[in-house]
Structure 1
Amino acid sequence: MQRKIKHPLLASTLMAITTAGLLSGCGGSSNNSTVVTTPNITSTTDAEDAALKFDANNYTTVTVTVDGVATAIRQYRVVYVDKPIKMAATQPTLMGTTATLSDPYVYQTMIISVPEAVINNQKTALYFAVNNAGWFASPVSTTIAEGKAFVSTNDTDNIGAALKAGYVVVNVGTRSRGIKSEDGRWVGKAPAPVVDAKAAIRYLRLNDSNMPGSAERIIMTGTSGGGGLTAAVSASGNSADYLPFLVDIGAAGIQVSGTTTTSTLKDGVFAAVAYCPINNLGNADTGYEWEYNAIRNDTNTPALNGVAYSAGEQISASTALAAAFPAYVNGLGLKRDNGTALTDANLRDTTLVQVKAEIERQLAAGKTIPALGENFTLTQSGPPGTAPTTKTLVNDWLTLNGSGSSATVANIDYTKFLTFVTTLKTLKTVVAFDAVGVTGNKDTSGSWKISGETNLFGSDSNQYSNFNAWSWNNNAANGDASGSDDTGLSWSAYLSNPSNNLATQIKLINPLAYLNTSADSAPYWYVRHGMVDRDTAFAMQTLLYQAVKNDPTVKDINFKLPYLVGHSGNYDVQEAFTWIKAKLDATP
């Protein structure tokens, strides 16, 4: 299928997106037919496709063990675009340190690992793994290395399970927030991670007939920011909205003639396996405060710059952000499983359905769950290099009927459940995601902290831009080119201003903007968010689930809130890979 779009300059891309369309998310157009014009676009042929031809002979061989059996793996290292961006030698990491790059193109490279037993199998699945924790940029890496031992039956060894199943493992590097190019530009801004992932998919499709595995059977997976990336890519398959950005990096399968750009390849995927996806960032802050505002206090909310939650700007910010969320939810037009409209009035009850279902699954499987008044004992991992901690917390939120495997859930006090979650791990400060320039969020030197996902947005000449209305209107960092204080524009006026593409950035990383539209969403979804995970609101995951469930092109959505699981991924490998196999087996 071919889609056409007039190719705009990056700074004015798709400014037909309106503020209302940005906020509504579901049920509108995916802008696949958006047409805008721009001068100075040179006609090209398929030079990129010729340059991106897969070389089947250019590989190294590593030997690993899978369940104790020596397994030879052919590894291909590929730059998946024809115009990769050369990166600065030193880059930041998620942990706040810096890393020195030995390869300036490591963010637009993928490592393809093929078990030699399936080297001639062009039907096996491609297990397409992204990283991007915290939506940070992800230099390509792989754990498939000489001498590595994998155990396919281990519930945390997804790579071992993939190799045992005979899948091709594709580890993908992508640009994202925080990185700089060699010439000093901030080149990881949205929608860069989504665009890079789509470019990698296009490379696989371009070379499908010459590579092991089938590009029609891509299983995309990631955790946290990588889960959010997985959701965004999987929801927006083949949308023409991304073509201008794909042209800029020389992605495969795009022809430019004059001002018209045509896609000759697809960039959708077969299945999404997303763990705790940090998604829908444009509305994540309002959702977070709507979820937690009523239970925030000085114990479960850290101080900012030495000022307690109750004594500073956080408390009023939380209230204001929470108040903005109902209008967003009610404008989505989503339906619950029972066919009634999903609204802010029943959103918590809709989440509770999932909590109840998970607890009853555990009871039926023989799990011992404390009765009301008894204690939960939970062990949580700490930062790298630290020992796990154990907490004992009274059950004051869950009432059971009966006992043993026949027990059922009689009642869940949702407010007390949220308090339970935040006792295990304190909440994020206010503002949780768009935190720069607001609520006194400064470091010990008095400078504004670059925290949250704020630096995923804005132009490549500025380090960040606020991306929700409250943070924009309350930005107090003078001279940062963000907020009405520096631009002289209100939030709505700035979004509609053709001199920037912030509205486009927010939309193109939001899966809800593409589900239930003419985009080709993945037909199969496996989504997990831990029952005690406070890194994003349960409300945001419920909205994602219902949006996927509402999409008529989606054939299956397997969604759970795993019992007493925190912010993590790949903890249920056997269940996930059983599901993957079933979907692949059912598809000729």
Structure 2
Amino acid sequence: MKRTAIGSCLLLSLAACGSDNTNATTTTTAPTVTAPVTGAYDSALAFDKTKYTTINVTIDGVKTPVRWYKEVCYVGKPIAMAASQTSLTGAATTITNTACGYQSMNIFVPESVASNQDTAIYFAVNNGGWFASYIKASVTDGATFDSSASNVGAALKAGYVYIDVATRGRGLVAADGSYAGKAPAAIVDAKAAVRYLRLNDSAMPGNANHIVVNGTSGGGGLSSALGASGNSTDYLSYLKDIGAAGVTADGSSIIKDDVLAINAYCPITDLGNADLAYEWVYNILGTRQTVGSYPNPTGSAELMAKFVGYQAGLGLKNADGMALTATTMLVAIKAEVIRSAEIYLASGGTIPNLGENISYTAGGFGAPTTTRTYVNDWIAIDNATKKVTSLDMEKYLKFVATQATLKNTPAFDQTGLSITASSGESNMFGTDKQVYSNFTEYSWDHNDVAGDGIGYADTGYSWTQFSALSTSPQLKQVKLINPMAYIGTGATTAPYWYVRHGTRDRDTAFTVSINLSRALAADAKVQDLNYRLAWNQPHAGNYDVPEAMAWIAATLKAATAKGL
């Protein structure tokens, strides 16, 4: 009754409400009704829960019906693309969905959870090498899955909503001929997809507050950036441009884009400093020279020297409190390799003794797959105690560089330097009118390809001068795809992280994932960090499905208990 009286009083003038004069004339005013604030394109992004096709798959011998919501466009202003595109391998491909094929998602819902709005959402990004990821369907009618080996089958068996997310990325050409995949396009699209799920949470199966993001290589980098930068306003102008859910006409946000958990493999990330890290790792003990992969000794030395200051500037620490600098990094890598080996041994695995042969398979992600035999001359094991008794880091790094050829110098920002034979990630940067642009100081200042419009020779600007210009997008682009720029800041970092990097992965320096793990460990918002170098794994992902899925299940249980 008290609440009713107060509510009625608000409809009267103040004098009338406070007066005892029952004969006084009062004037009533209708309450002002404020329309709810919505995103500019929210009404066009409503999820149609009836628009699906039922397909049937077999998981561990059990037939499982699955609802397939096909190619759901998650933005209100998708960018039309050219029909002909180039893939990660360099092959030309023709796409059929030019309207929204790079900004849509395939949603797969096990029939058993079609009415369950509490189950998790397994959010798979597929952009290897940071290339654009055209819409794909990991679940097809009649497919058979082994849940012990397939993360797709395991996610469906667990009753999660499985989503294949397409995103723009490097190499992408729009219908108007512009390059529409420049950074930060991939992460902007991933955030838009998260926002779509949040907007439609009440209508869709699954819980949009329990999104687990999975990705490998460039997808691992995208997953890490997405997990680190939740709700940052840095991305709002880009989200507005593509009509993302929850972005109002004035460019503010009414929907969150943070996620619960990250399941990332061999993340290609921190690209602005990745060349420094790569040269330091493979020169600190003379690895490049030893294996005969030393195309640019002067450049290697220059980049390696700059790593020292970069690493010190991060201010990171190991678990024992020791500063993680260039002086202590080699010790940190060695400790992680030993930990990886001993975890593998404890699980029942075997490692050949010193002097024994072992075969390894390398390749993938566009490279041919080959199997070669090596002699173990770098790690000694006590099989009785399942402990590592010695590890020769010089020989270990030689092994890594032998079983997969090292990248050129520089490793990632290569285009425009005649000494290199490939392009790295340079075509992810610059304006949408440029095929590529150098995005680091070394490569910009050493660009020697005349007429590409990049570097000192063509622009008259050194990197220091150019990066200070308001028209230079590269520094901002580098930041927006770098999780290290957001961990420990005001962004909403994902509370749960599972990160793996293979012990024989030569595609990115071990320092990159180690730095990522140490930064996450220092962020108070991170509640669980499960980081490890994965024993005997190359540049690959989803090789540990039972372990990863058990971690996801435990994470979801912990999050639910904490009300997340």
5 Å matches for 1:543-554? Answer: 543-554=515-526
Distance in 2 between residues matched to 1:220 and 1:270, nearest whole Å: 8
In structure 2, how many angstroms separate the alpha carbons of the residues matched to 1:174 and 1:112?
Answer: 15
Deviations 1:139-188 (A, max 9, x none): 01012111111121x23x00000000000001000000001110010010
Aligned ranges 1:388-399 → 2 under 5 Å: 388-391=370-373, 393-399=374-380
Secondary structure at 2:263 match in 1: strand
Corresponding residue for residue 373 of structure 1: 355
Give 1:431's match in structure 2, choosing from 410, 415, 438. 410
Kept in 1: contact 2:128–2:365 (CA 8 A): no
Is 1:270 aligned to residue 260 of structure 2? Answer: yes
Largest Rg, 1 or 2:
2
Equivalent of residue 275 in structure 2, options 266, 270, 285: 285
The gaps in structure 1 that reach 5 residues or longer are 1-43, 303-308, 443-448
Alignment of 1:159-308 (within 5 A): 159-257=152-250, 261-293=251-283, 294-297=285-288, 300=291
2:107 corresponds to which letter in structure 1? I
Alignment of 1:565 with 2:555, yes or no, is: no
Partner of 2:34: none
TM-score by length of 1: 0.86
Say if 1:533 and 1:566, in contact at 8 Å, map to a contact too.
yes
CA contact (8 A) 1:496 1:503 kept: no
Q: CA deviation at 1:385?
A: 11
Q: Does 1:483 align with 2:463?
A: no
CA distance in 1, matches of 2:468, 2:475: 8
RMSD value, Cα: 1.7
The CA deviation at 1:232 is 0.6
Q: Does 1:107 align with 2:102?
A: yes
Change (3 A) 1:56 1:384: same
Distance 1:222 1:327, change over 3 A: same
Question: Structure 2 vs 1, CA of residues 456 and 301 (structure 1 numbering), >3 Å: closer, same or farther?
Answer: farther
Amino acid at match of 1:395: N
> How far has the Cα of 1:268 moved from its partner?
0.8
Match of 1:83 in 2: 77
- Tell me which of 294, 303, 325 is aligned to 2:307: 325
Q: Distance in 1 between matches of 2:40 and 2:487?
A: 33
Q: Which has the higher contact order (CA 8 A, sep 6+)?
A: 1
**Shift in Å, 1:372:** 2.7
Counting aligned pairs with the same residue, the percent is 50
2-side partners of 1:175 and 1:384: how far apart? 19
- Consecutive unaligned residues of structure 2, counting only runs of 5 or more, are 1-36
Tell me which of 109, 112, 118 is aligned to 2:113: 118
Matching of residue 536 in structure 1 with residue 522 in structure 2? no
Aligned to 2:86: 92
- The corresponding residue for 1:29 is none
In structure 1, distance between residues paired with 2:155 and 2:344: 26
Distance 1:384 1:241, change over 3 A: closer
- SS of 1:575's equivalent in the other structure is helix
Shift in Å at residue 298 of structure 1?
6.5
| SS state at 2:513 partner | helix
Task: String of CA shifts for 1:78-112, please: whole Å, max 9, x gaps.
Answer: 11000000001100011111111111120001011
Q: 1:171 aligns to what SS in structure 2? A: strand
Q: Which one of 364, 380, 383 corresponds to residue 346 of structure 2?
A: 364
Q: Aligned pair 1:440/2:419, yes or no?
A: yes
Distance 1:432 1:385 in 2: 16
Question: What SS class does the counterpart of residue 327 from structure 2 fall into?
Answer: coil
Contact 1:476 1:485 (C-alpha < 8 Å) held by counterparts: yes
Per the alignment, do residues 465 and 416 of structure 1 end up closer, same or farther by CA in structure 2, a change over 3 Å counting? Answer: same
Give the letter for the 2:413 counterpart: D
**Equivalent residue pairs, number:** 521
CA contact (8 A) 2:359 2:371 kept: no
2:46 aligned to which of 36, 40, 53 = 53
Give the structure-2-normalised TM-score: 0.89
Listed one character per residue, the Cα deviations across residues 3-34 of structure 1 (whole Å, up to 9, x for unaligned) are xxxxxxxxxxxxxxxxxxxxxxxxxxxxxxxx
The question of 1:582 aligning with 2:554 is answered yes
1:60-75 map, 5 Å: 60-75=53-68
Range with greater deviation from structure 2 (509-518 or 338-347) = 338-347
Q: CA deviation at 1:383?
A: 7.9
**In 2, are the aligned partners of 1:285 and 1:434 still within 8 Å (CA)?**
yes
